[in-house]
Amino acid sequence: MSIRGFFEKHSHHFHGQGRLAPLKPLYEAVENFMLSPLSRTKSAPHVRDPLDVKRYMSMVIIGLLPAALAGWYFFGLRVLAMIAVSYAIGGAIEVAFAVVRKEEINEGFLVTGLLFPMILPPTLPLWMVALGVAFGVLVGKELFGGTGRNLFNPALIGRCFLAIAYPTAMASYLDPVKAWPGRLFQWAGSALSDATTNPTPLSQAKRVIAGGGELTPISDLLWGSVSGSVGETSAILLIVGGVFLLLTRVGNYRTTVSMLGAFAILESILHLADPGRFVGPLWHLLAGGMLLGAFFMATDPVTGPVTGGGKWVYGALIGVSAALIRNLTGYVEGVMFAILLGNIFAPVIDEVFIRRRLAALARQDVIAPERGQPPGQQGNVWFEGKANEEAAQQ
């Protein structure tokens, strides 16, 4: 049943003499959140499913919520404060740009605002959260023209900025409380006031390889009772949210599958080559930010390629880079750098696939032969095509 169908089916409860009529405002708020608020025609012609930016973003937030709640459970009330700060500061910048540019306020920030605290250490001082989200939104998105035009994932740009600017604070992680009720009602101190530096599973793995201690068990990685960034610890909840995204087709399965697949294959090869130096592929898939990155960040439709084949290449590029950075460099985690690297290559990957497709179409006489030639020889077909369309309209 489609989401729209669900709302249509239950809407009569909230309207007129329905049982839940007093709750109509709540119903409308939820409907607005999930669907386009525009009133629609009751007779033909119908647009069957007006998927817009807002609903797209709402789906990602719903997918992220389980992991975010797990972050609250494991790392305390501070997580909620981090999310609030991220939304407040990032939202303010978004609104300021919308006002100056005289544009509508875009929903695009809803995801960045939640995604950003998810990839930060839970002890990070709140002013750093504010600075990071401000940098991410300003430099990572608005300078490129706002939502839909950014080259890089704004949340990752913000994190990258913080990781380079404040390496000490960005490496202080909190050990999660394992017994119920976790830290649901606790406020954990900030990284600056009390230095609580616990090894994350990945940094622990580097120590184990160097010859000391024990590897984090896979069961802990699944549940999430390990130290790490706020929203990256609970593998099960990330998979639940991620599969939800893939099923609603908000996240494209090609990117996720090829990213996780390429990563797992390379990890397996490394593990088989030298089990003493490289931990197994399943462990690596569940540890660190791999799942969060594969389900929620690499699938970003703005910063990834648009062509289907391009998505396979893009995912594989990220997966391979992440495995290489994790295992063969001084860095403990490589998913952030890998995705940013993928972002850089996304337009080039698209270009290659579009050219191949055009050449194939030209060979089949679907389009004029000269449009299948590389742009250097006949100008950029896309810009020319756009110009022709515009000329035709006028």
Partner 1 sequence: MAANPIACASCGSGLCGGKGRETFYQGTWANNPISIQVLGICSALAVTTTLANSLIMGLALIFVTGMSNLIISLLRATIPRKVRMIAEVAVIATFVILFDQLLKAFYFSMSERLGPYVGLIITNCIVMGRAEAFALTNPPLLSVVDGLANGIGYAFVLAIIGTFRELVGDGKILGFTVLSEGWYVKNQLMILAPGAFIALGFLIAAFNYINARGQKAEAKS
Q: Contact residues for partner 1 (CB under 8 A)?
A: 128, 139, 161, 164-167, 169, 192
- In the complex, the smallest distance separating the C-beta of residue 202 from partner 1, rounded to whole angstroms, is 22
Nearer to partner 1, 151 or 257 (CB): 151
Nearer to partner 1, 157 or 322 (CB): 157
- If the CB atoms of residues 344 and 360 are measured against partner 1, the closer one turns out to be 344
Residue 291 and residue 245: Cα distance in Å, rounded?
Answer: 13
Name the residue nearer to partner 1 (CB basis): 6 or 127: 127
- The answer to whether the CB of 142 falls within 8 A of the CB of 136 is no
Torsion of CA 276, 277, 281, 282, to 10 degrees: 60
As measured in angstroms, the least distance from the Cβ of 131 to partner 1 is 9
CB of 132 vs partner 1, minimal distance in Å: 11
Least distance in Å: CB of 192 to partner 1? 7
Residue closer to partner 1 by CB (options 81, 139) is 139
Write out the two tokens for 383.
Answer: 């810009």
Q: How far is the CB of 125 from partner 1 (least distance, A)?
A: 8
CB closer to partner 1 out of 270 and 340? 340
Choose between 157 and 260: whose C-beta lies nearer to partner 1: 157
Residue positions counted in the chain: 394
Cβ proximity to partner 1: between 146 and 305 the closer is 146
Least Å from the CB of residue 137 to partner 1: 14
Minimum separation from the CB atom of position 51 to partner 1 (A): 35
222, 236 contact by CB (below 8 A): yes
CB of residue 363 vs partner 1: minimum separation in angstroms? Answer: 44
Cα–Cα distances (Å) from 291 to 124, 136, 375, in that order, read: 22, 21, 38
